Amino acid sequence: MKILVAAPHPDDEVLGCGGTIARLASEGHEIHLCIVTAAYEPEWSKHFVADRPRQVKASCEVLGIKSHWLLGFPTVKLDTVPQKKLNAEISKVFQAVKPDIFFIPHGGDCMKDHRLIYEACLVAARPHIHRCEQILAYETLSETEWGLPSQPFLPNVYYDVTNFTDKKIAAFKVYESEVIAIPHPRNPDTIRALARKRGSEANMFHAEAFMLVRAAY
Q: What's the confidence (pLDDT) of residue 87?
A: 98
How many helices (H) and strands (E) the chain has is answered by 6, 7
Tell me the CATH number at 200: 3.40.50.10320
Q: What is the DSSP letter of 39?
A: -
Closest C-alpha among 112, 100, 120 to residue 214: 100
Amino acid letter, 71 = L
Q: What's the confidence (pLDDT) of residue 25?
A: 98
Q: With a cut of 50, which residues of the chain have pLDDT below it?
A: none
Q: What's the confidence (pLDDT) of residue 129?
A: 83
Q: What domain range is 118 assigned to? A: 2-215
String of DSSP letters for 105-156:
E-TT-SSHHHHHHHHHHHHHT-TTT---SEEEEEP-TTTSTTS-TTS-----
Beta-strand relationship, 134-138 and 30-38: unpaired
Closest C-alpha among 102, 130, 125, 92 to residue 16: 102
Q: What's the confidence (pLDDT) of residue 83?
A: 96
Closest C-alpha among 117, 200, 164, 186 to residue 21: 164
Report the C-alpha gap between 19 and 17 in whole angstroms: 6
Number of domains in the chain: 1
Give the Cα-Cα-Cα angle 5, 8, 12 (nearest 5 degrees): 70
7 within 8 A of 114, measured Cβ to Cβ: no
| pLDDT tens, position by position, 72-92 | 999 999 999 999 999 999 999
